[in-house]
Structure 1
């Protein structure tokens, strides 16, 4: 009989246990194996060369942290059954199974704004049918419908194991040390009060460090101007390709990508949609982009060459919105230089906003020794929490380098 209780060696967390056989079966399923071919951070490797890790890595890491968190809570007297443990591990393992190629970048271009969480839920439902209902409780937890709220909060909140893993993992693979949060310390401080997730009050500075680490990672890594531009270019390329196909142009593309380029409307119930989606990965998109560098459409060819040859447009960043007159000047120069009339396709204003700590949406609560719950920002011991609850926005203007 096959031993399914494997141990996986992970470069970030060390040895990861698979404590239930159903977890092994799900990991081996084609839906989950596809995540090996989905980048965790899109084209971030064009800025940080080491960022080649995948959604597969991340999902296993998040499962490991969930297991560690549940073991910690059990030691603190929180009653967690084997069924609840198994369901929570399944839910976090599959939380990203609906991600499309290059993760977030192409989410809204292929399937009419089908968010990855919606697709994850659809695929979890399909897997539940295949595994005779073994994922029913996991789906309840994922949707936030299970009575014990802390399970859903461990899956999705401002202090979930998803964020704990991707911060530490992305920090490791990019080499940006600011995101290297102490996951073990944070998890050791987790607790439960009235079936809601809280943090022991002595862990306040670990939590504040985690929130600021996340903020630095966003501005230094995820919202780095070249990283933001590369993600934007992917969206532009797919949007342009889909538009050209809808106008009758024939574009060479792999079978599964071609399906989404040629179709405009996608119903949830359509089996063909899901079948094609679960066969689609980064390789299909990158192959198409390489092919389209030779497209007869100037704009598509220009955008694809920018990605393939890493010949990115020039960028300017500001805390203020770029004026329409300034943008029109760049468009006019682009039209003149290339002899085109749609230079607006090559000049873009991108914005990135971040709210480091949302005090309204699932705030983080501290639990003092008397059992009283206090909002993180209301604690007399907080240092930073009351200063990182404002939205910050950065604007990036991109235009062809040849325009300079």
Structure 2
């Protein structure tokens, strides 16, 4: 039952381990959660292959999306009580964009995107404006409402304050995934004082600013993000699983192009391999589908595909050593030659993986990835950029950290004839 103003006659809640409860008062939000496209997010893990390293990391994009919605709801309904800068439609716009911001993520998210060169934000927008249940629910607010939600996701919506709540260097998306990922991985790195940050948030024209009295809570958030990226998101074991996952997808595509006779045909991948993927095809993909093919492909006649699938499913991952592409490419060429001579295909079994993160940056106009700075509101009303006020943030501001690893199957190397084995291990330094 709904009231004439689009509110539920009785508030609904989801019990949540991070925010205690997720509160829903608006009919449109309740109906969006029930759509097929949003329910699909239950079948996509938030952290991809991280569960291989931290066994608790089984939470889904569904969990996270509800969490981002709840943070935004608290900000606009509780923190920004005087909402003269937001009418009711823009309030709903904030809530819907928060709920739907990850709608276009594919199975194993970023690994899947890298292999097939997809952009989950483009698919999110396509689902919102396309022939979908989500689109039909959003149109109940207004015919142009889906387009506005898509513009918030694309960061092109005219009210930049609305955009910044979902996408900035300190936004509801980041705040939820740091707290949620820390909770499910069982680590303390991602914990920060979100309550304090919310208390010092202030809307100012087209941006959110933070009272300078809460600067230390913002510093804590920045450092939590930094630690989570290097301790969790870029963990080398997780990256090993991602490398194998990527190579499985590459191998399957290569075999399809070569007209290989699959015992289990890659039905759900055909439009991807042929570059004819439709939105209808895309929303059918989830991690259950991918895992089914990996399970079946263990029995394929192609030795590489079957081996990689067994490795992924049974967590028989590649080992790694530190690698510097700028100084060690001769080593890489020598290893490739040795692998080929030993009968191990280096395309699939000798892989350099690089991870890179920029924890915080001030505004640099004209750069490809312009980052809105975090601004502090000083007692005298002056606005100051965070790194100009905080020595801690200044120390890491604008400093990109990059890490390279070389991955290889040590178990296969150990089975090689002694002359190959010792030479390869000597070059690898193991």
TM-score, normalized by length of structure 1? 0.91
Per the TM alignment, residue 34 of structure 1 is displaced from its structure 2 partner at its CA by 0.3
What is the CA–CA distance in structure 1 between the aligned matches of 2:301 and 2:154, rounded to whole Å?
46
Equivalent residue number for residue 48 of structure 1: 54
Calculate the aligned-residue CA RMSD, in Å.
2.1
Match among 340, 348, 359 for residue 356 of structure 1 = 359
Matched ranges for 1:15-34 at <5 A: 15-34=21-40
3-state SS in 1 of match to 2:361: coil
Equivalent residue number for residue 114 of structure 1: 118
Q: In 2 relative to 1, CA 148–388 (structure 1 residues): closer, same or farther, beyond 3 Å?
A: same
| 1:70-128 per-position Cα deviation (integer Å, ceiling 9, x unaligned) | 13442366543222111101001111000000121101334xx2200000001011233
What is the CA–CA distance in structure 2 between the aligned matches of 1:349 and 1:228, rounded to whole Å?
10
Match among 230, 255, 260 for residue 241 of structure 2 = 230
3-state SS in 2 of match to 1:158: coil
Equivalent residue number for residue 168 of structure 1: 179
Match among 344, 349, 372 for residue 347 of structure 2 = 344
| Paired positions, count | 392
| 1:10-35 per-position Cα deviation (integer Å, ceiling 9, x unaligned) | 11111111121001111100000000
Moved more, 25-34 or 82-91: 82-91
Structure exhibiting the larger radius of gyration computed from Cα positions: 2
| 1:133-169 per-position Cα deviation (integer Å, ceiling 9, x unaligned) | 3434423333334332111001111111000000000
User: Unaligned stretches of 5+ in structure 2?
Assistant: 3-7, 364-370, 414-424, 426-430
3-state SS in 2 of match to 1:356: coil
What is the CA–CA distance in structure 2 between the aligned matches of 1:68 and 1:256, rounded to whole Å?
44
Match among 306, 309, 315 for residue 304 of structure 1 = 309
Matched, 1:370 2:380: yes
Q: In 2 relative to 1, CA 256–282 (structure 1 residues): closer, same or farther, beyond 3 Å?
A: farther
User: Unaligned stretches of 5+ in structure 1?
Assistant: 267-272
Equivalent residue number for residue 239 of structure 1: 250
Matched, 1:128 2:132: no
What is the CA–CA distance in structure 2 between the aligned matches of 1:320 and 1:179, rounded to whole Å?
31
What is the CA–CA distance in structure 2 between the aligned matches of 1:235 and 1:262, rounded to whole Å?
14
Matched, 1:386 2:394: yes
Matched ranges for 1:58-77 at <5 A: 58-75=64-81
Matched ranges for 1:94-105 at <5 A: 94-105=100-111
What is the CA–CA distance in structure 1 between the aligned matches of 2:348 and 2:63, rounded to whole Å?
36
What is the CA–CA distance in structure 2 between the aligned matches of 1:200 and 1:299, rounded to whole Å?
57
Per the TM alignment, residue 386 of structure 1 is displaced from its structure 2 partner at its CA by 0.8
What is the CA–CA distance in structure 1 between the aligned matches of 2:287 and 2:46, rounded to whole Å?
11
Match among 225, 229, 251 for residue 218 of structure 1 = 229
3-state SS in 2 of match to 1:359: coil
